[in-house]
């Protein structure tokens, strides 16, 4: 159950609400986000919700049977959108393309990608500076200095940044330079990190775990929301299956199911989803058709020289062809 609290609620109102919940033996968690205030309750026995609904300062009471509550679509009418400022909005009214290299490598590379994105009318650039790598000998990113360089160049061009944060200790120092924090697949259930990001007012792109279920992804999103941060993007990036013909199995079903189960925007990551450059475009289009609200795509001026994930990275020409096809799809679907 979610109790939606009016911003006019006074102390007496809170006291009475909590006393009533305690009398009914209903455990509760009070959640204050950057947008609203809620009480999330897990009642053990059925009860008359009018007892709560009639209290002063209570806007609404919603029954939510899903195990994840605040991120569930069972209570919210309409879909959540994320406003990054300067007219950059991620919502279900558009398909937001975000693109950039797997790893930030140099000033020259950032500038080349940022200028290319601007020429395409794309305002969100991805790029990792803290890279989770399977091998400790692989390139692990340029770190905070790389992020400052990335931010400095993108800010002057009006481009927003999405970059991965790997540990709680780095959240605060990264925040001034980040527009969207990415939580990578390997950290999808790092609950301490999710708690920390939930306490900040920075949007989070939360990726599905490598072997994570849809419900686990939604429960991870619930961690962030319940700590106070509503600005969450759910990301399908492929899961590990028995199939070795490609890097991951992009779960197209998850796009449609996530849109049904949650009011949060759903973003596809076709690059990691299939892991093969040649097929990234088709999978992006499939994600669009399945109902995704956007996609995050790896691109590089010279994919064969990329420090990481070159095998799944599009060059500028391939990306602009894909962008054109997406524009056509958008037009076709509008009709």
Contact residues for ligand PEP, defined by CB under 6 A? 102, 128, 132, 184-186, 207, 237, 269, 272
- Of the residues 125, 214, 309, 313, which one makes contact with Mn ion according to CB under 5 A: 309
Residue 102 interacts with Mn ion (CB under 5 A)?
Answer: yes
Q: How far is the CB of 52 from ligand PEP (least distance, A)?
A: 41
Q: Which does 184 bind (CB under 5 to 8 A by kind): ligand PEP, Mn ion, none?
A: ligand PEP
Say which entry of Mn ion, ligand PEP, none residue 13 contacts (CB below 5 to 8 A, set by partner kind): none
Query: What strands lie across the sheet with 58-62, from one edge to the other?
Result: 27-32, 37-42, 2-5, 58-62
**From residue 222 to residue 261, what is the string marking binding to Mn ion with x (rule CB under 5 A)?**
----------------------------------------
Q: Which helix (H) or strand (E) holds 172?
A: helix 168-174
Exposed, middle or buried by CB within 10 Å (0-12, 13-18, 19+), for 220? buried
The CA distance from 282 to 261, in Å, is: 25
Whole-number minimum distance, CB 103 to ligand PEP, in Å? 7
Nearest to 197 by CA among 217, 212, 175, 177: 175
Selection from ligand PEP, Mn ion, none that 207 binds (CB < 5 to 8 A by kind) is: ligand PEP
Of 68 and 116, nearer to Mn ion (C-beta) is 116
If you search the block for the tokens 């009016």, which residue do you land on?
6
User: Is 165 in contact with 174 (CB distance < 8 Å)?
Assistant: yes
CA 25 to chain centre: 35
By beta carbon distance, the residue nearest Mn ion is: 102
CB of 321 to ligand PEP, least distance (A): 22
* Alpha-carbon distances, residue 245 vs 85, 209, 249, 255 (angstroms): 41, 20, 9, 22
Report the partner that residue 227 touches, choosing among ligand PEP, Mn ion, none (CB closer than 5 to 8 A by kind): none
Shortest distance in whole angstroms from residue 135 CB to ligand PEP: 13
- Residue 185's binding partner among ligand PEP, Mn ion, none (Cβ under 5 to 8 angstroms by kind) is ligand PEP
Residue 224 beta carbon to Mn ion: minimum distance, rounded to whole angstroms: 22
Residue 146 interacting entry, from ligand PEP, Mn ion, none, C-beta within 5 to 8 Å by type: none
User: Which residues are CB-contacts of 37 (< 8 A; sequence separation ≥ 6)?
Assistant: 4, 5, 7, 9, 30, 31
Which residues of 128-274 form beta strands (DSSP E)?
160-164, 180-183, 204-207, 232-236, 266-268
> 79 near 67, Cβ under 8 Å?
no
Least CB distance to ligand PEP at residue 207 (A): 5
Binding site for Mn ion (CB under 5 A): 102, 309
């Amino acid at each position: 159950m979610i109790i939606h609290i009016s911003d006019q609620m006074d102390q007496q109102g809170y006291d009475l609400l909590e006393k009533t919940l305690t009398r009914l033996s209903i455990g509760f968690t009070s959640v204050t986000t950057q947008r609203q205030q809620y009480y999330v309750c897990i009642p053990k026995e059925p009860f008359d919700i009018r007892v709560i609904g009639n209290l002063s300062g209570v806007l609404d009471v919603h029954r939510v049977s899903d195990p994840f509550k605040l991120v569930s679509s069972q209570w919210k009418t309409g879909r959540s959108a994320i406003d990054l400022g300067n007219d950059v909005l991620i919502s279900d009214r558009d398909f937001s393309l975000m693109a950039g290299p797997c790893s930030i490598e140099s000033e020259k590379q950032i500038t080349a990608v940022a200028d290319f994105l601007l020429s395409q009318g794309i305002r969100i650039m991805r790029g990792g500076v803290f890279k989770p790598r399977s091998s400790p000998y692989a390139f692990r990113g340029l770190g905070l200095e790389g992020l400052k360089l990335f931010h400095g160049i993108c800010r002057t061009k009006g481009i927003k940044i999405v970059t991965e944060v790997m540990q709680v200790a780095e959240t605060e120092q990264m925040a001034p330079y980040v527009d969207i924090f990415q939580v990578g697949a390997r950290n999808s259930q790092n609950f301490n990190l999710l708690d920390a990001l939930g306490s900040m007012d920075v949007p989070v792109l939360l990726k599905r775990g490598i072997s994570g279920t849809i419900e686990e992804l939604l429960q991870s999103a619930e961690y962030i929301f319940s700590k106070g941060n509503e600005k969450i993007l759910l990301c399908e990036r492929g899961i590990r299956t028995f199939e070795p013909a490609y890097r991951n199995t992009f779960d197209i079903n998850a796009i449609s199911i996530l849109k049904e189960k949650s009011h949060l925007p759903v973003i596809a990551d076709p690059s990691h989803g299939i892991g093969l450059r040649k097929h990234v475009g088709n999978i992006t289009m499939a994600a669009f058709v399945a109902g995704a609200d956007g996609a995050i795509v790896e691109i590089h001026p010279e994919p064969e020289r990329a420090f990481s994930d070159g095998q799944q990275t599009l060059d500028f020409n391939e990306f602009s062809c894909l962008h054109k096809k997406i524009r056509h799809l958008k037009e076709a679907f509008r009709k």
